[in-house]
Amino acid sequence: MMDTQRGREPIEQPVTVAARDITLEGSLTIPTKPYGIVLFAHGSGSSRHSPRNRFVARELNGAGLGTLLVDLLTPQEEAVDVVTRQHRFDINLLAKRLLGSIEWLRQRPETRELRIGLFGASTGAAAALIAAAERSDQVGAVVSRGGRPDLADEALHRVYAPALLIVGGRDRQVIELNEMALAQLKGEKRLEIVPGATHLFEEPGTLERVAQLASSWFEHYLSGAHSVLADTVRGETLSSAEGS
């Protein structure tokens, strides 16, 4: 999407992300004068080339948000995972890679000052929530698309970032799992059910609705005075918890 307020199409650039002890391939897009950046956590058997995540990323770019889509598995790990599926459900591994990617964003001059949002799909949603729990001082908002937030387990109780869980109306089992996870989240939260959508949001207009919801959520929680207020409230909450 054209960033009409800024007058040009944001340029996507390939990047190599040094995520702690591993190097990951990614795609970074920074619009003119962004107010935040969204790090994508892809789901089971997917990658930074996911057409669904790339669609959402383009919409976020058009709304003035930077995006980083990164492969959370190395090519060697992906080759093994295609056969064994052993890595795609290793939520702690995926979360560790996300945390390393957050550190990488904090080290780059063009992104170090930007508020960070996390967008997780499928099992990537659980990894995003764990990362949000571990970096409550840096993650300003989380969005899950057709996610498995329940796989974040005990970390759900430590998520104070505003979280939006988006599920397809025909994805009934995942709706139940999201309802269970929603009850455990501590911060501002919402479950949004997209009518007529299945797990991958392939039905006409459903992915557009996901992008619209995500864009509004990130815009509200990553920009302006709200992010400052959220930081203050989160800091007071965490201080109170530590003193209890």
Contact in structure between 91 and 126 (CB atoms under 8 Å): yes
**pLDDT, tens digit (0-9, with 9 covering 90-100), for 219-241:** 999 986 455 444 544 454 444 44
**pLDDT, tens digit (0-9, with 9 covering 90-100), for 170-201:** 999 999 999 999 999 999 999 999 999 999 99
Band of the pLDDT at 63, cuts 50, 70, 90? very high
What is the distance between the alpha carbons of residues 29 and 152, in angstroms, rounded to a whole number?
A: 28
Band of the pLDDT at 242, cuts 50, 70, 90? very low
Q: How much is the pLDDT for 46?
A: 62
Best CATH choice for the domain 12-233 from the list 3.40.50.1820, 2.60.40.60, 3.30.360.10, 1.10.10.10? 3.40.50.1820
What is the distance between the alpha carbons of residues 184 and 86, in angstroms, rounded to a whole number?
A: 27
Under 8 Å CB-to-CB from 121, ≥6 apart: which residues? 40, 41, 42, 43, 46, 50, 52, 53, 144, 145, 146, 147
Using alpha carbons, select from 201, 223, 165, 229 the residue that is nearest to residue 51. Answer: 201
